[in-house]
Amino acid sequence: MKILVTGAGGQLGTVLTTSLKEKYGKNAVIASDIVKIDGYEGIFELLDATDEASLTKIVAAHNVTEIYHLAAILSANGEKNPIQTWDVNLKSLFNVLQVSVNQKIEKVFFPSSIAVYGPTAPKIDTKQDAYLDPTTVYGISKAAGEHWAQYYFLRYGLDVRSIRYPGVVGYQSLPGGGTTDYAVDIYHKAINNEDFTCYLREDACLPMIYIEDAIRATLEIMEAPKSQIKVRTSYNLAGVSFTPKEITASILKWYPDFKVVYTPDFRQNIADSWPASINDNPARKDWNWKPNYDLEAMTKEMITQLQKQE
């Protein structure tokens, strides 16, 4: 087994490569990213995933059998340059899918997002098959990507598996350019005894997930028997939903003097277009998904782990 991870230096990639190495051995994981990852221990390749020739070369050189394609431009950054975001997110996915067919890759993981939903989907308990009308270029790219993943499964039998992640909250790495990033930044400010300026309204409820749950879900969907993967676009995944006001209240139990001011910007419009909570019944039923972390458990972990890093 040889696993190639693209975007290995990103928020999810940083933690996922560590978990994959722990599980399958250091030599089974090839981390790749468009820039070097400082201090990375293990096999690493510089890779621009939009470059098909480079991807092909790396897959062949390492006899890769599985690809986790995490490289992408997220929602808030995506709005700064929509066409480039579409190009990067889709071109890299096409490369991964096509190289996987050409080189007989056994399994591919493609992360999607709750950003595939738009204003038409119900806000609360949004179901797997709710209408998809994303209004961000990131969401459009993920919704299209999911359908391309399904196309490659149906047309070529490629075993592509996918999760619609909520906003991921973790202490090991920083997110880059997403709308849900505030829920990581807020903990860093709290433990540094600084005030936090929140770019969302205090009542902006969004689906989130603690990193440990997010990584476990990824490993579990990839390990499930093929016959159990019934959704070939992407599975809804729920962790915990909360507002900036609620996460602040949970932090105040640890840092009673912590202060948050609210100055909503363009990211509030993105948040307004997304669900507040997600129904993930198909993931629970098909591959036994169940989250472990609620808001209080997440806050406890975030604060104690960040304090250790001080």
Are 20 and 215 in contact, with CB atoms under 8 Å apart? no
Number of H helices and E strands in the chain, helices first, is 11, 12
CB-based burial label for 284 (10 Å; 0-12, 13-18, 19+): middle
Nearer to ligand SER, 67 or 183 (CB): 183
Contacts of residue 144, Cβ cutoff 8 Å, sequence gap at least 6: 90
Please give the residue ranges that form the binding site for ligand SER (CB under 6 A): 74-75, 113, 115, 138, 165, 167, 178-180
Half-sphere exposure of 173 (CA within 13 A, CB side): 20
Nearest to 100 by CA among 66, 51, 54, 149: 66
The dihedrals phi and psi of 288, each to the nearest 5 degrees, come to 60, 35
- What one-character-per-residue DSSP string does 162-185 give? EEEE-EEE-SSS---S-SSTHHHH
Q: Which is nearer to ligand SER, 75 or 236 (CB)?
A: 75
Q: Which of 138, 187, 235, 293 is catalytic?
A: 138
Q: How far is the CB of 64 from ligand SER (least distance, A)?
A: 26
As a whole number of angstroms, the distance between CA 125 and CA 95 comes to: 34
Q: Bridge-partner residues for 197, per DSSP?
A: 261
* Residue among 179 and 248 whose Cβ is closer to ligand SER: 179
For 281, phi then psi, to 5°, come to: -55, -45
Write down the least CB distance from residue 269 to ligand SER, Å. Answer: 13
CB of 147 to ligand SER, least distance (A): 17
Contact 292, 214 (CB under 8 A): no
Angle subtended at Cα 9 by Cα 265 and Cα 310, rounded to the nearest 5 degrees: 75
Q: How far is the CB of 66 from ligand SER (least distance, A)?
A: 22
Neighbours of 242 (CB within 10 A): 25
Residue nearest to ligand SER (CB): 178
State the nearest-atom distance from the C-beta of 39 to ligand SER, in Å.
25
> Minimum Å distance from CB 115 to ligand SER?
5
Q: Which is nearer to ligand SER, 64 or 70 (CB)?
A: 70
Q: By C-beta, is 12 or 160 nearer to ligand SER? A: 12
Please say which residue, 41 or 265, places its beta carbon nearer to ligand SER. 265
Mark whether 210 is an active-site residue. Answer: no
Which residues are identified as catalytic?
138
